Structure 1
């Protein structure tokens, strides 16, 4: 009995090997629906191969050290330099050498739903994750650049085991650890990419909590960034304790 097109499409979703006997058989099927389904599978398979190749390429910096017998390479990134409210948050992540969540990359390239999914996978599989949080008051005291460095430093210090090497997104830290500062590192290193995802999701969740504490500002939607809605609500409702008073729009309102 010939398989229905619907059944073939369902089975194709479960096949990953192009030499699978079913694929070989369906390639000779003359039905237009089957031909279309197989072509779609081929395109997706090529996309998966390219994604896997790119993912492995983003382990080049880690492998440079792993191959020398250096086990713990941490990726470090921060999020929240630009917002008018809320903390700056950094994450440091040590990935296992067999980590294979191929969709991990710079958090800015991912949807919120995808970040949430990857966050759980990273948390579950990482050797260690450290967080650093610096609130608005300290940002005002020491400036946002130094606050970002402080958050990153705290994140690294909260790792256990301690890292042997740091791969950092466009930053160096005053720590006695071998470091590489990588411009746009969250798109070049899976470890930094993982850190960017963890930091972003963590900050977004914190800002959602602040949305309940300080209703009306829309923190759950814009995470404290200077959107028109946020600026309008600052004028209407005033400044909260989590606003950064040293930032222009907030300072002007004061």
Structure 2
């Protein structure tokens, strides 16, 4: 299984455990668009990708009390995943990356993403059982307990929709290592098939534009800026960390 985006990605596999430490990875998540999403900044929309495992959540039987976020390694797989659950063609696609991949990180983290290869634990079988309402066996529960002892950022496993693709189940610790490259809105059920994009990082170096986390979608599929975001603690934190990254690079060139 190839974990990174290319054969040149930095991937470190534990010799005895199914643990993988990696970077230079990208992730995609699709969500059915709702009118209530209009006016919410990229920052707010992205925070909504981390879901509490309540009784009506598909992972509530697997990781009760923990927050999780479900992603894929391509937009096509991510779209197919939500279509499987009855989503319409009005879709928001999030394109995220490991913040440490950027030449100029903007998050307070210096640890690479720690993955567990869920294929070693039949995790996709266990997830499918949970989705179909099948009672988990004691062995299934033991597997989940063993996985959590590793304190992973994320589980990675093959997509049941397309086995050439991968799915990622992030826990809160790993989710907080993700930064947004782009958010795309496509209103496929509207006559004009309206689309709009908000970019938060550019180029192969993932050069962040942190103020764009304050942009939002407005009817119909237009982009506007919430200037109040520039007053938030989140923006100030991202800006400070990013500026320090720039300063280190300039000092290194002297």
Please state which band the TM-score falls in when normalised by the shorter chain.
under 0.3
TM-score, normalised via structure 1 length: 0.21
Task: Give the TM-score normalised by the residue count of structure 2.
Answer: 0.21
Structure 1 or 2, whichever has the larger Rg, is 1
Higher strand share: 2
More helix per residue: 1
